Amino acid sequence: MERTFVMLKPDAVQRGIVGEIISRFERKGFKIVAMKMLKISRELAEKHYAEHKGKPFFEGLLNYITSSPVIAMVIEGKNAVKVVRSIVGATNPAEAQPGTIRGDYGLDVGRNVIHASDSLESAKREIALFFSSEEIYEYSKYDENWIYEKN
């Protein structure tokens, strides 16, 4: 099983679509093993978006992500990184397929509702930025036998 990091951005929180988005991951069969609401500090935002430092949109991105609370989550399941990214959709909502989160809820690349790790390495780094090991839970769900084949 893989774990990936997902963040519902300030626009998702402000628009009141958090529950609708979370339910998509749960209905797919993923397990949420950590979740919290927080207001991201500038320091944490700079670490999270470090690969964008020096780009023209960096300052605006920091201002936006620190402007309102976000929901941070760790989602667990088979092929979590790849499948979550497909549920989320293309970064630019104008290019995201209908039925994806960004395709259904986003109109502007700067307000694209959600972040999801793009690789296992990114997921590990981002999870460690937002959660301590004590905040991530191990548990079984009753429906796992109906979601996954036993090998």
Question: Strand 2-8 to strand 70-77: parallel, antiparallel, or no bridges (unpaired)?
Answer: antiparallel
Is residue 91 domain-resident?
A: yes
Q: How many domains does the chain have?
A: 1
The chain-wide mean pLDDT, for the chain, equals: 96
Is residue 143 domain-resident?
A: no
pLDDT digits (tens, 9 = 90+) for 36-87: 999 999 999 999 999 999 999 999 999 999 999 999 999 999 999 999 999 9
Distance CA 9, CA 105 (A): 12
Range of the structural domain that residue 94 is part of: 2-136
Specify the 3-state DSSP secondary structure of 49: coil
Is residue 76 domain-resident?
A: yes
Return the active site residues: 115
Q: What is the CATH number of the domain that holds 102?
A: 3.30.70.141
Write down the H helix ranges in 29-119: 42-48, 58-65, 80-88, 101-105
Is residue 114 domain-resident?
A: yes
Residue 151, pLDDT > 90, answer: no
pLDDT of residue 14: 97
Is residue 148 domain-resident?
A: no
Rg (CA), the chain: 15
Is residue 69 domain-resident?
A: yes
Is residue 52 domain-resident?
A: yes
93: left (phi over 0), alpha (psi -120 to 50) or beta: alpha
Is residue 51 domain-resident?
A: yes
Q: Which of 102, 105, 103, 106 is nearest to 116 (CA)?
A: 102
